[in-house]
Amino acid sequence: MNASTYIFGWILATLLGAVFHLWKDGGFWKLVIYIFVSWIGFFLGHVIAKSAGFDLMTVGSLYLGGGIIGSIIALFAGHWFSRIESFPGQSK
């Protein structure tokens, strides 16, 4: 992959994290977490799609379909894990 492919994937993953943040609402740190989780999910989705030969929406050497699916799954998982509360009666 060349540099422009990495930059395009990075920008797209950042936009997915920002849109998810606007949809689910949260503070500054939630935005940072969502963007970071989106980057990880996009990269893992790209790698898995590349190794599996999943050719949905390829742009050059970037497996965009796998990256988007991985990013969305990672964002929902990150949001779910961020909502975990401590046990009742436990001090914070």
pLDDT in tens, the chain (92 residues): 688 888 999 999 999 999 999 998 878 988 999 999 999 999 999 999 999 988 888 888 899 999 999 999 999 999 998 877 766 666 55
- Token reading at 85: 């509360």
Domain boundaries, the chain: 3-82
As a residue count, the chain comes to 92
Q: How far apart are CA 72 and CA 64, in angstroms?
A: 12
Q: How far apart are CA 15 and CA 13, in angstroms?
A: 5
Q: How far apart are CA 44 and CA 86, in angstroms?
A: 30
CA-closest candidate to residue 57, choices 4, 6, 9? 9
The pTM (predicted TM-score) of the whole model is 0.84
